[in-house]
Amino acid sequence: MVMREQDVLGFKHRFIAGSDVVTSPTLLVLHGTGGDENDLVGLGQTMLPGANILSPRGKVLENGMPRFFRRLAEGVFDLEDLKARTHELADFVLAAARDYGFNAGRVFATGYSNGGNIAASTLLLRPGTLAGAVLLRPMVPLVPDTLPDLASSPVLIAAGEMDLIATPAQTHDLTELLRKCGADVEVVHQPVGHQLTQADVEAARRWFGKHA
């Protein structure tokens, strides 16, 4: 297994080669607020065994905590920064595919909270970057002026029924938005708040087994 830690291609990140760099799917793992490129590596390997793992660190700092884009307050996003950071992340994925040699057409994302939000934004603003995504406790990041065609993009949303951040209303609105774009959206609910559970991991593993 090849593992590289790099501060190149625009992001500090980790890349861990899977069973075969060229033929294996690649899992883009995106941490939540205050996380880094190490946080979700093990989780990603559990969700999609044998995959390449590409794990960048968010470049925005909020009180010293890394994030993938700025927010103005809890649940209030800086939309211009979000758009710019989304395109920056999508460009990074393409550059990483060229550098590491993995298949850019088989990149899936799994992101938690802030990471889930930018993964959803990538689906909406840069369709084709991701072959699909597992969104863990996401919110609606933005509504694009022109809805993309996501007919070939399966999505799993893992929601907490008692989540006060990514609320059930947010889950509903994001599900409807992605379905309006043609995405095949599956939603799983856990009887918890914003924290992740083993049931989320098992649901993601089953989902990847069908789609990746």
The catalytic residues are 113, 163, 194
Joined tokens for residue 6: 């790099």
Q: Which residues contact 186 (CB under 8 A, 6 or more apart)?
A: 154, 155, 156, 157, 207
**Amino acid at site 56:** P
Burial of 63 (0-12, 13-18, 19+ CB in 10 A): exposed
* Dist. CA 58–CA 112, nearest whole Å: 12
Using DSSP, how many helices (H) and how many strands (E) does the chain show?
5, 12
* Dist. CA 36–CA 66, nearest whole Å: 7
**Which neighbouring-strand residues pair with 71?**
77
**Amino acid at site 161:** E
Report yes or no: 48 and 208 within 8 Å, Cβ to Cβ: yes
